[in-house]
Amino acid sequence: MAKKYWLMKCEPAAYTIADLKRDGRTSWEGVRNYQARNFMRDQMQEGDAVLFYASNADPSGVTGLATIARAGYPDHLSWKKGHKYFDAASTQAKPLWFMVDLAFEEEFAGTVPLGTLKATPGLEDMKVIQKGSRLSVQPATKGEYNIVVRLGRKLKSATR
């Protein structure tokens, strides 16, 4: 299967690229949007590349890179009564929600802000810059991924 590219959003109060760097690997649980769930359940595969995006941040933008370390599997937290991700409609026999595991790849020296993404040629069709695009898990193209990686690595070289 061909490698795919993704952008995954997380609020810094919940988890950051620095947290992923420290942990090395984490599960990406708690997604409760059907379209995002479908991407994780049906399309994400081990080895896919991820742009790690800090949402509701100052500034919001891409802060680093990760890879899919484990393809979609049932989000067991949806079965745990009392947990904030519990969903009585999801059962072990018929799981409703899924998650993936992410592995750390690289932390940028700073954030590639949303404004920069919007102003960069080649990113005009990127989902994250489209008006009303709030999905926390979204596809990206290989070209978009490569442009954002170049932007992020320029931040690193500028601080040396």
| Residue 36, SS3 per DSSP | helix
| Cα–Cα distance, 72 to 41 (Å, whole number) | 5
Architecture per CATH, domain 5-147, reads as Roll (3.10)
Q: Domain spans of the chain?
A: 5-147
Residues of the chain with pLDDT > 90: what percent?
Answer: 79
The model's pTM = 0.93
Once rounded to an integer, what is the mean pLDDT over residues 2-26? 97
Nearest by Cα to 54 from 23, 17, 20: 17
| pLDDT score, position 144 | 98
How do residues 43-83 score in pLDDT, each as one tens digit?
A: 999 999 999 999 999 999 999 999 999 999 999 988 988 88
